[in-house]
Structure 1
Amino acid sequence: MENQSDVLFILHGLNGSASSRQIYFSLALASYVFTLLVNVMLIVTVCVEKTLHEPIYIFLCNLCFNGIFGASIFYPKLLGDLLSEVHVISYTGCLAQVFALYCYVFGEFTSLTVMAFDRYMAICKPLQYRVVMTSQKVAQLLLLTWCFPLLETVVGMVLTARLPLCGRHIRKLFCTNWEVVKLSCVDTTINNIYGFLLMFLHVSQAGLIVVSYAHLVRASLRSHSNRRKFVQTCVPHLLTLLIFTTSLVFDTLFSRYGGDQMQLLQNMLAVEFLVVPPLVNPAIYGIKLQQIRWRIMHNFTHKDTPPLQADSR
């Protein structure tokens, strides 16, 4: 294809779902609205309540911002396609979607890593926590959660944008880097190596976080206070990490090695890491973190709640 900017990719993820599109549209719209609601509610709660202006809650807000970003990549296009008989996306729009998608994915991993570091310092080295986790350090870590994913994504996009294309059929609900690479007319070894490198890097990153929790478990057994911190902040963090990593790995493997059959299963795996984490993360943290739970209950019921005491360590 000589002028790739004029290419329209055809998305096949919604094939065979014409009879149920109104139901899917209603479910998708409700899910998107609820995702925005719970994330914004948690962010506003932390911003308004001064006693929650601590590193762990700031990092949690950053995770929620990333969740809103990830959901907003996927839902608007899906809702539009469910109302349309033609499911296409321009070459430029496809690359933009891929860019945003991978910024979200890598940002999620980096955010969870930063939160794991915060929990390690709070539980394993409580006496050094206030010295290390200064406002400047928090700002640097927040900058890292956005700059590092951006760098990874830019490299991948440069490798993908250089490829000439010989096809325009994408078998998923949305564009992914791998689906675009598969349409290339030339050898894609470099792209494949970079993709496997990124997958290995982030799966290893998740593994290191899990290993670090062994130290947190050991430290949490030393006192009742540490056990409480572990249950309130580390357990939801670990659940978030496992849900996100598992769904992403299954989708990646299915995209690379799965066939064209079982479209419904493929769609479920494809959207899980875009739908479940942004929806579940604020719910998990909102339930487990007492300070946030008390404040949300107070805002919506106007009942007296116990005084909030920041317990970021």
Structure 2
Amino acid sequence: MDTRRIRRTPLPTLAAVALTGTLLAACGSEKADDNDLSGGNTASVLLHPAAGATAGQLDATAAVLRKRLEYAGVKNGKVTVENGTIKVMVPDGPGGGADALQGIEKDGRLEFRPVLSAARASAGSGAPTPADATPQTADPAKYPGVTAELVAAYNALDCTRPGTGTANAGQSAQVVAACEDKPQDGTPERYLLAPAELTGSDVQSAEAETPTSGQTGGWQIALTFTTSGADKFTKITGRLADNSLPTNRFAITLDGRVVIAPSVMQELTGGNAVITGQFTKSEATRTAAVLRTGNLPVALTADPVVTNSAK
């Protein structure tokens, strides 16, 4: 049975989405520290833009990537446009190197979607098992945009297969089927998700933090909503809190994969949320940097990262 919850925080100015179901205070956190550089070695990656990208779009994309390095605490990073591609080079060492370049090409598309249905599947099988108390199936007549075909595709979704269950860009206004990105127990959950009710444009800032005093787990990402985003978040959580499982759950997706889908127990106010989970320091720092810079102007694919020695 899923025990993840969202509850009202004792601090009136903070509302947090927590994977463990515990609200996290804003005080006592520690942001990711600066990058330690080491002697002359570098790591680089070549990024290929989508077909038809203009010189102006490439320059704008390079500018976003520079900001991502800056927000991730990577010093002396270099982003250049070369022959229709973008090259990113960073010093090697703790906080930099190949680790700092992992996922830098990601679009950074953040969405908050109500859950319509949820189920787990055993490894190698598309057969769902209950994600909560009992299996739940969306009723096409009850939820606008849910068709029998979509329900069939959701039921057949095998989230144990890498790369499956990723909602495509441009589907924010549609019902989608998606997979859990990093399941804690090793068994991914599948979801049927309503259209996005908040997106990255509703987030003002994102910061990587260590867990606050009394909390356990890995690094976390603290979000601050814009004024309009905070108002939406309050209204949506108030509405979902009146529902039963699984439709009281709120999925946060990043680039079409579900990062977390906790249950909402009460209306949350204050304009802040915390995404927690088994993030390493580098994962939380990179993800926060991606969210702060927003979507890339041009879609990118990445070659393998190359590490070069100065010797």
Q: State whether TM-score is above 0.5.
A: no
Per the shorter chain, which TM-score range? under 0.3
More helix by share: 1
TM-score (norm 1): 0.23
Higher strand share: 2
TM-score (norm 2): 0.23
* Bigger Rg, which one: 1
